[in-house]
Chains A and B, each alone.
Chain A
């Protein structure tokens, strides 16, 4: 009888504790930098938002539908740049074109700065691919450093001590 009660208590305790344990393992924070893939990754639509990170020798772009891995050693060139976009962009930004008194044009004056990360890499057959990502200011150089550490190559080496300042960018398109 006492053994039976003990078993029931054990099961009950397990049921009470398990909800606190299991979600902790399942909901790991999404690794990587929040980016928008402009073009280039196979199987990913242009202008898809997701997270880009470098993990165990791979550049990993993950979004809702799938994950795409590119071996860092297959990356022949990593180049950073900068760009800008409208503060109000997307569908809402398009709709502002019809706003009265040319207020859409006025809104175009307000823009946010972006970093761009451009990579060139080879697939298994030796075919050359290119991919472009945009992300928040100062994040492209960090990603580039991580990729170079994992075996990627670049035609524009990173200057020491010049990682996140805008002046450190190789180019200004």
Chain B
């Protein structure tokens, strides 16, 4: 009788843990979003890696387009004088840490070879230059599209990181 009771309690405890653990984990995963009214995007830096100019410009423009599309923040470009008056301004600085240019022809002919990838370190800082968030984000093109599609992939992932970690303040 005691053994049956003990087994019942054990089963209850295991099932309770199984049901509640994912919910607790989900609560732990959700980060507290930082407030920002606007994001200023700095031009992509590539001091260590020799990055072709079209990739640099494509990274910058795709990033701005994706941030404008998702998020609800006011997006400023590098050097925009209007950004100086913006409250809760976050500056996004990106540095290319790795770049492997593949071949579109190889991708189309072999499917498995010729991938293009870009590794970019993203740092979000506040007005005082204090780092709020840092992430390493990768952009790839493995199957379809030109090499510049890797920059689109990177921009989409970065916009998602912004959405997950920042919430727009009222008035944006």
Interface of A is mostly: strand
- In contact, B61 and A125 (Cβ under 8 angstroms): no
- In contact, B108 and A105 (Cβ under 8 angstroms): yes
At the interface, yes or no: A40 with Cβ under 8 Å from chain B? Answer: yes
Smallest CB separation, B77 vs chain A (Å): 3
- Binding stretch for chain B, among A55-63, A64-72, A115-123, A157-165: A115-123
Query: Please, what's the 1-or-0 string for B35-74, where 1 marks a CB less than 8 Å from any CB in chain A?
Result: 0000000010000000011111110111001000000000
- Binding stretch for chain B, among A18-26, A128-136, A142-150: A128-136
A1→B101 CA distance, assembly (Å): 84
* In-complex Cβ contact of B80 among A86, A108, A127, A171 (8 A): A127
* In-complex Cβ contact of A132 among B58, B80, B105, B108 (8 A): B58
> A-B contact count, CB below 8 Å?
78
Number of residues from B at the complex interface, CB < 8 A = 27
Question: A residues within 8 A CB of B87?
Answer: none
A93→B28 CA distance, assembly (Å): 47
A41→B146 CA distance, assembly (Å): 20
- In contact, B58 and A38 (Cβ under 8 angstroms): yes
Nearest residue (CB) in A for B108 is A108
- In contact, B105 and A171 (Cβ under 8 angstroms): no
- In contact, A171 and B52 (Cβ under 8 angstroms): yes
| Given A39-B58, A108-B105, A118-B57, A81-B52 contact (CB < 8 Å) | yes
A85→B146 CA distance, assembly (Å): 8
Question: A residues within 8 A CB of B148?
Answer: 38-39, 132
Nearest residue (CB) in A for B151 is A39
Smallest CB separation, B151 vs chain A (Å): 9
Question: A residues within 8 A CB of B80?
Answer: 123, 125-127
- In contact, B57 and A130 (Cβ under 8 angstroms): yes
Nearest residue (CB) in B for A128 is B78
A77→B60 CA distance, assembly (Å): 15
Smallest CB separation, A68 vs chain B (Å): 14
A16→B58 CA distance, assembly (Å): 54
- In contact, B101 and A173 (Cβ under 8 angstroms): yes
A130→B151 CA distance, assembly (Å): 14
At the interface, yes or no: A54 with Cβ under 8 Å from chain B? Answer: no
| Given A86-B108, A105-B108, A108-B105, A127-B54 contact (CB < 8 Å) | no
Interface of B toward A, CB cutoff 8 Å: 43, 52-58, 60-62, 65, 76-82, 101, 104-105, 108-109, 146-148
Can you list the 6 inter-chain pairs with the closest CB atoms, starting with the nearest? Answer: A130-B57, A127-B77, A108-B108, A127-B80, A173-B52, A79-B53
